[in-house]
Amino acid sequence: MDLDHRHLIYRPRRLRRNTNIRGLVRENHVTPNDLVMPVFITAGKNKKHKIPSMPGIYQWSLDKVGHHIADLMNAGITRVILFGIPSEKDATGSDAIDDDKGIIQQSIRFLRKHFPELYIITDICMCEYTDHGHCGIIHENDVHNDTTLTYLQKQVVSHARAGVDMVAPSGMMDGMVDAIRMALDENDFEQIPIMSYAVKYASAYYGPFREAAESAPQFGDRQAYQMDPANVREALKEAELDIAEGADILMVKPALAYLDVIARVREMTSLPIACYNVSGEYSMIKAAAAKGWIDGTKVMLETLTAMKRAGADIILTYFALEAAKYL
């Protein structure tokens, strides 16, 4: 054989021949340490409510959620993000800032007592607690940004008093990271990190979540404060602002249709990057798998790997418990 010709034959398939060699050269790995499980806690007792649009996901009352948390921890999932469904809602979401009776405050204290090794993150927003379903305080039929910031400050301090490990503001209010950092520091909670939903799009992928959290807006939509799905330069601007305001971790939400955004944000900062594998992404895979159209397990793992490959260090996902069994 002509040596010059022979040297032009490249054979990348040599490194794909079997499971051992593929594992040896694999560039990205998803582990249970990358995953955070969202948990919905509802007021009342003896509740384990199915969420029809999210098979396998439930609303839990505090007296029932311990079984779920134990399953998570046994599978190696030791980090959760809590979402609360209060017994009553009002215009200012007063349950969100109630030190004693707030559903999330009660949940933090319960979990801290019974699962001391669990790392507890809380979603910081008003939409789950307001009767209008918007992410802040309404003034003249719009969410008033700066008034909302004062409520977010009260919310994070209340969660901190209850014993939270990390807070995750999700409302896309301008200046929210700065306001929250200031409130935490002034109340001697400077050790609590902020995982900011820095880049959160006004996405149609959130539909099932709004059923789970009972947080659908009662009028209008959230396009005036969540981002336009068409924009990526704006995402970088939002990320830059949150870095300047003191965010410890940046999040991109949703994840699957925004892998390019995750990659762009990853390139611009050395901060840890999180992404939220949102309810619609979860439900589409579950629905297609139930129809027998796809292998649900393989698509789940491929999807999570894609998020890691795009640059996410942390993945918030409803698949966390299920995926941990295969990782």
The residues carrying an active-site annotation are 200, 253
CB proximity list for 203: less than 8 A, separation 6 or greater: 226, 229, 253, 254, 257, 278, 280
Please give the single-letter amino acid code of residue 117.
E
C-alpha to C-alpha distance for 94 and 103, rounded to whole angstroms: 11
Instruction: Please name every residue paired with 276 in a beta bridge, in sequence order, or none if there are none.
Output: 316
Pairing of strands 79-85, 142-143: unpaired
DSSP 56-118: T-EEE-HHHHHHHHHHHHHTT--EEEEEEE-S--BTT-GGGG-TTT-HHHHHHHHHHHH-TT-
Kind plus residue range of the DSSP H or E element containing 207: helix 207-212
Task: Give the C-alpha separation, 307 to 255, whole Å.
Answer: 7
